[in-house]
Structure 1
Amino acid sequence: MGNSVQILTDKITLIASPTTWVEGLAIQQLRHTAALAGMVKVAGMPDLHPGRGYPIGAAFFSQGCIYPALVGNDIGCGMGFWQTSLPLAKVKIDKLARRLVDLEGPLGAPWAELVAQGKARLGIDNAHFDQALGTIGGGNHFAEFQAVDCLHDAGAFPGDPSRLLLLVHSGSRGLGQAILARHLVEHGHEALAADTPAFGTYLAQHDEAVRWAELNRELIARRFLAAIRAEGQCLFDLNHNLVSPYSLAGQAGWLHRKGATPADQGLVVIPGSRGDYSYLVQPKADAKALHSLAHGAGRKWQRGECKSRLSHKYRREDLVRTRFGSQVICADKTLLFDEAPQAYKDCHSVVDDLVQAGLVQLVARLKPVVTFKTQGGCAG
């Protein structure tokens, strides 16, 4: 197990070695959330960092109630991992990047039938946010073409490691935001008791937003595959921002995952920053981590301070090419600095903490080929 499991209190476990830097405010938020009424157990991941009142990179088990404000606005945010039909040997990075145009507006008429089929298949009735389906959004969301750099366990790899891969990170966009905003007006940050009508109303809206986010990632992937003229297959899709039923030591309750990837649903990708490796891992589901894992490298710096830290050292041109020779598509200069690799922890150290804690086995190390953030004018 190593020394990557820290028991902070009888309620709080931190999956991080003592040498892993975790901001004090994140620990403070972890302790604050653990003290909420009905909260039974809390597990912080090595990518733990401060959020808007609640930490990101943690899982929270409650009984008798849930906290919609803890789930936040990006309900259903997660990652879809796809294998493309394009052999790596035929990939030319600049040519690939040039094909990634007109990928941020509404999908439009050619996609209408596919959108309708997807909504029917997933039982999505809400039509107010259809124009956002198939769009990535801003912040730390992305679509990234990747290549296997190192294969640790060929037998566990779910596809063909000689093909180009695609990782999509996005969520429920304006739909999740609208659900949270409506909830906060009516209930604030208070818990919703499981035996109240408000609980059922929120959960129904939440569950639809989760399905909407899953459809959104599928449509993003198909949109990017069409742009590079390739076929593709979804290897897996996992949500890391949601609340769901959960049992701990035989006790039924609710598990809030706030930027925490499920460890009980098969293989997981833990992405680094756009200038770092990502890791495909096989989880070893464990109750001490609430059957959850880190969902990425985790921020070191708050957004808004990155440009002042980096602009005297780097020009925009320095940030659109990485040490791997990969290309970053991002026309939003502020976002380019906010999402710079330097603003994130080293992904290897995060994954190593999970390995040392006995929570994962390495399957493959992945390197970026082209990372798409925005061509400008992105929102939310």
Structure 2
Amino acid sequence: MAKLKLRGKDLRQIGYPEGPVISIAMNIMQKEYKHSSQEEVMDILQKILKAPVEYENDAVLGLIAQQLIPKEEINGEMIVLNREGVPVNIFGSQFIEQGALMQMDQAAKLPVSVSGALMPDAHSGYGLPIGGVLATSNAVIPYGVGVDIGCRMCLSVFDIDPKTMKQREHYFTTVLNDNTLFGSGQQFLKPSEHAVIDNKLFDEIAVLKQLQNKAARQLGSSGSGNHFVEFGIVEIKEKDEVLNLEAGTYLGLLSHSGSRGLGASIAQQYTKVAKEKRMLPKEAANLAWLDLNEAEGMEYWLAMNLAGDYASACHHAIHAKIAKELGRQPITMVENHHNFAWKEIIDGQELIVHRKGATPAGKDVLGIIPGSMTAPGFIVKGKGEAASLASASHGAGRKMSRTAAMNSITQNSLNEMLAKHGVKLIGGGLDEAPHAYKDIEQVMKAQNHLVDTVGAFYPRIVKMDGTPPKPWMKGE
């Protein structure tokens, strides 16, 4: 029997209202009734539409029914934070600013919070601090994920002698320049064709409809701020059974960027919705959440996952173009999200684990933790430490705001640092100077019981945006 395929048009024709219920119904039916006939499925959907209360508690169909039952109006009362917060384990507390500690303390007091952790690269952000990890019960916090949904690291390792980077520096510089596009709002003249752009959610979720064309034109591009694409030296001292790469030195291509305008628009829209539904004290307002049993929560969850897939596709497009230029395919690739929420089982309970600027570090899970444009990054293997909610830092972390960096770091000092480490910088401003970051070696020592280091990456030719940061970015 052919796999079930539903269209939003089909549901509208039988009376389903415009809104989240259509995409939710399509997802559930195509997953749980994929071997049923179209007629059988449409008959079930009609019955739910006529009497949704009868299906409210159904294990499978209940979520559809709940979207069709009239909702009570929100009374607008302020939600009171718990007096005592849930347990939060802090790693490398000596490196963490007070503002980040205070933000994590607020998050721990949310009624939906179960447990939390703070990574050694942590610093203040919006909602959760950067480097914050929070497990919640059936609730997702848009600003607990962040604006750049699915921000991601991706490393391609090539069996090419890294000495060729110095011997052919102009060639490798040209390859980076010709195959990357950086900057807030930047997009290609021609839209890209990719399966992620054809995802049916672009037709079913209102906020996504208007973003599809821009997403197609931005696919394969990188943002501003700390996003980069760079060539460097991959050093493997001994073979690891999970990484499965022989000891030696290799040429590496490392990229860092996220879901571009798509993720930012999703975050802004659903944060607005969450704040309207959950009135929190002013100091905790950016921690407003959406319940996954309500339409808006499920809608955000679907959109968030789409943005994560899109971020991954952007990296793969960049790496594929550069691999084609090099005339070689990578012998391995390591990648990970670090601005996302996952459903995970903790102590026998399914929780939503937000990692905002934190690397997943489950048992034997590989990831990348970068340093700065001159400091090494590390290929790591998670230990699955329960105290950190199986997480680690997502980088060295800022010790200086962008404004402070631009006011205190000179171009000469940046040039001296680049020369000292043999790094060629294309773009990249003073706000991203290595001086603005914590010592990655100290950060790694503070989490040596969270991850094992299985390789290192040393930047050599670094491409970044280089335009001055926007006003809203300067404090981050």
Deviation, structure 1 residue 275? 1.1
Residue of structure 2 aligned with 1:132, choices 218, 226, 231: 218
- Taking structure 1 as the reference length, the TM-score comes to 0.86
| 1:317-328 matched pairs, under 5 angstroms | 317-318=415-416, 321-328=418-425
Query: Aligned match of 1:270 in 369, 372, 378?
Result: 369
Give the stretch that moved more between structures: 181-190 or 273-282.
181-190
Residue identity opposite 1:325 in structure 2: G
Q: Does 1:73 align with 2:144?
A: no
Q: State the shift of 1:270 in Å.
A: 1.0
Aligned pair partner of 1:146 in 201, 207, 232: 232
- Judging changes above 3 Å, is the alpha-carbon distance between structure 1 residues 201 and 157 closer, same or farther for their aligned structure 2 residues? closer
Tell me what 1:340 maps to: 433
State the SS of the aligned residue for 2:158: strand
The separation in 2 between residues aligned to 1:34 and 1:202, in whole angstroms, is 22
1:188-203 matches, within 5 Å, as 188=275, 189=286, 190-203=288-301
SS of the residue corresponding to residue 374 of structure 2 reads coil
Secondary structure of 2:244's counterpart equals coil
Change (3 A) 1:247 1:167: same
Structure 2 residue 339 is matched with structure 1 residue 241: yes
Task: Tell me the SS of whatever aligns to 2:225.
Answer: coil
Residues 15 and 9 of structure 1: CA distance in aligned 2, closer, same or farther (over 3 Å): farther
Tell me how far 1:206 sits from its aligned partner. Answer: 0.8
Q: Which AA in structure 2 matches 1:144? A: E
Kindly indicate which of the two structures has a greater share of residues assigned to helix: 2
User: TM-score if structure 2 supplies the norm length?
Assistant: 0.69
State percent identity of aligned pairs. 27
Residues 1:14 and 2:90 aligned together: yes
Partner SS for 2:176: coil
Higher relative contact order (CA 8 A, sep 6+): 1
Q: Which ranges in structure 1 are unaligned for 5 or more consecutive residues?
A: 1-7
Residue 89 of structure 1 and its aligned partner are, at CA, apart by 3.6
Distance 1:191 1:309 in 2: 38
1:260/1:293 contact within 8 Å kept:
yes
Partner residue in 2 for 1:282: 381
Q: Which residue of the other structure, out of 177, 185, 197, is the alignment partner of 1:101?
A: 177
List runs of 5+ in structure 2 lacking aligned partners. 1-83, 203-207, 276-285
Partner of 1:5: none
Match of residue 298 from structure 1: 397
How far, CA to CA, are the matches of 2:376 and 2:117 in structure 1?
25
Structure showing greater Rg = 2
Q: Cα RMSD over matched residues?
A: 2.7
Post-superposition offset of 1:360 = 1.7
Which residue of structure 2 lines up, in the alignment, with residue 116 of structure 1? 194
CA–CA distance in structure 1, aligned partners of residues 332 and 403 of structure 2: 35
Deviation at 1:286, TM superposition (A): 1.3
Tell me, yes or no, if the aligned pair for 2:380 and 2:454 is still in contact at 8 Å: yes
Q: 1:371 to 1:359 in 2, by over 3 A?
A: same
Q: Deviations 1:208-235 (Å, cap 9, x if unpaired)?
A: 1111111011112223334545433552
The 1:28–1:310 alpha-carbon spacing in structure 2 relative to 1, beyond 3 Å, is same
- Shift in Å, 1:317: 4.1
Segment drifting more, 175-184 vs 296-305: 175-184
